[in-house]
Amino acid sequence: MATNRVLGWLESKKNLAGSACGLVGVSLTVTGVAGTYWPLVVAGLYGAGALIAPPEPPAPPEPVGPTEQLGGVRERFGRLREYVAEVELPAPAEGRLAELMDLYGALLEPGWVADVLAADPESVHALSRAIELDVPECVDTYNRTRWWTRLTPGGESPERHLERQLSLLSEEAARLTADLRETEARRQQTHTTYLEERGQHS
C-alpha cells in the first residue's frame, strides 16, 4: 500500500510540475544565480510547481458486480420486511403481501438460487424496483387514501386498489421466477445435448 502511494505520487501531475520547476532551480544554481541559498530556491520552486499543478481527477468508482448488487437488494428487503410488519392491512391484501414477501425472500436467500438471479441483471433490476419502490408505494398510498376516505366516503375503495396492485406484483414475480426456472431448464438441456454428442463421438 505504501509503495503504491509513493508510485502514485511520483507519477502525479503535482510531482511532475514540481520537478520541472525544481530543474529550473538547479539551472539557476549551475549558472550561479541562486547563490548559497540554492537549496531553498530549488525546494521553493518545486513547492510552487506542485501547488500550481491541477489536481488529479478522482478515480472512477469501481463497477458494482451482480453479487454485490444483490446484497444491496437483500438489505433493502430486510428494511421492507420491518416496514410492512408495522402496517395494518385488510386480510386479503395482507395474505397476498405475505405470499409476495415469502417469494422475494426465497429468491434472495443466499445460495444457488440467488446465484442464478444475480446472473440475470434484468431480473435483479425488476426485483430491486419492486422491493425499493413498488411495494412501499402500494402500502403507503393505501394508508393515505384510506385516511381521506374516512373523511369523505365514496368512490372506489382503497382496499380494491391495493389488492389489484399486489396481484400485479405477484404476477410479475411469477414471471420472473418462471424465467429463472427456464434458464436452469435450458442449462440442463444443454448439458444433456453435450453428453449425447460426446457419447456419439466416443
Q: What is the DSSP string of 52-73?
A: HSPPPPPPPPPPPPHHHHHHHH
Band (62; pLDDT cuts 50, 70, 90): low
| Helix %, strand %, coil % of the chain (to 5) | 80, 0, 20
> pLDDT over 90 for what percent of the chain?
41
First to last CA, the chain: 53
74-108 residue pLDDT tens:
999 999 999 999 888 998 999 999 999 999 999 99
What mean pLDDT, rounded, does the chain reach? 80
pLDDT at 17 over 90: no
Note if the pTM is more than 0.85: no
pLDDT at 7 over 60: no
Give the C-alpha separation, 34 to 41, whole Å: 7
Other C-beta atoms within 10 Å of 21: how many?
20
To the nearest 10°, the Cα dihedral for 94, 96, 98, 103?
-170
- Residue 73 confidence (pLDDT): 92
Band (10; pLDDT cuts 50, 70, 90): very low
Give the C-alpha separation, 113 to 92, whole Å: 29
44-55 residue pLDDT tens:
656 666 666 666
- Residue 146 confidence (pLDDT): 86
pLDDT at 132 over 70: yes
- Residue 6 confidence (pLDDT): 47
> String of b and e for 97-112 (b: at least 16 CB within 10 Å)?
beebbebbeebbeeee
Q: Which residue has the higher pLDDT, 99 or 22?
A: 99
For the segment 143-148, the average pLDDT, to the nearest whole number, is 86
158-200 residue pLDDT tens:
899 999 999 999 999 999 999 999 989 998 999 999 898 888 8
The set of cell numbers assigned to 176 is 420472473
- Residue 157 confidence (pLDDT): 86
For 172, half-sphere exposure in the C-beta direction (CA atoms, 13 angstrom radius) is: 21
Instruction: Measure Cα distances from 156 to 106, 149, 152, 181 in Å.
Output: 34, 9, 12, 38
pLDDT at 147 over 70: yes
